[in-house]
Amino acid sequence: MEAMQAEDLDSLFFLPLSQQAFQEFEDLQARLQLIPYDDTAIDQWVPIWGNKYTSRRFYSHIFSNVQAVWKSKCTPRIKFFAWLILVDHLNTKSMLRRHLNIQDSIFCVMCDDGEEETIEHLFFDCPFSQECWATLNFAWDGSLQLLDRLVKGSLAHNLPFFTEATLIAAWEL
């Protein structure tokens, strides 16, 4: 009886990995095995903000990348929406399937490409979103991570309202 209860608990906390997540996991394992291990070295953890920890320094470090969102002149609703995108917690079909095991179609309804509705596809790869960004004359470097892509776009366009225009356009998409 106890063994069965432990087994039930194990299955309760088991979340299956998607094929993509499993492939990333295997790639990470392979990369980690290539890193030489020196068992004579003494590990020491030093925060990148300095030796002295304060909650203020930690908060500043964590939110330094998304401060442009919070400082924008957009409504709080749009700021929160943008934050969800930046931390990869927007309820796309892909996210809902991963976390809630939704069985409905996960494909983008804005195009007929048969692509999974992810943040990347919805805002950058979908032909509909690409057309919208082109109308605004915004070009994105798809080889960059999302935050780096936004920073590079901001520098390239050099508009005082770039953040607001980007956030509102993403909200409208």
Residue 36 CA to residue 160 CA, distance in Å, equals 47
117 close to 107: Cβ distance less than 8 angstroms:
yes
pLDDT at 4 over 60: no
Question: What's the pTM?
Answer: 0.62
Q: How confident is the model at residue 9 (pLDDT cuts 50, 70, 90)?
A: very low
Give tens-digit pLDDT for 80-97.
Answer: 999 889 888 888 888 787
128 close to 101: Cβ distance less than 8 angstroms:
no
Q: Which residue's structure tokens are 């596809």?
A: 121
Give tens-digit pLDDT for 10-45.
Answer: 454 556 778 888 888 889 999 999 988 887 877 777
Range of lowest pLDDT (10-19, 21-30, 47-56, 57-66): 10-19
Residue 14 sits in which domain range?
Answer: 2-172
Token duo for residue 150: 């936004």
| Residue of higher predicted confidence among 46 and 10 | 46
Q: How confident is the model at residue 131 (pLDDT cuts 50, 70, 90)?
A: very high
pLDDT at 2 over 70: no
Distance of CA 124 to the CA centre of its chain: 13
Residue 71 CA to residue 30 CA, distance in Å, equals 41
Q: How many domains does the chain have?
A: 1
pLDDT at 65 over 70: no
Token duo for residue 48: 């990148």
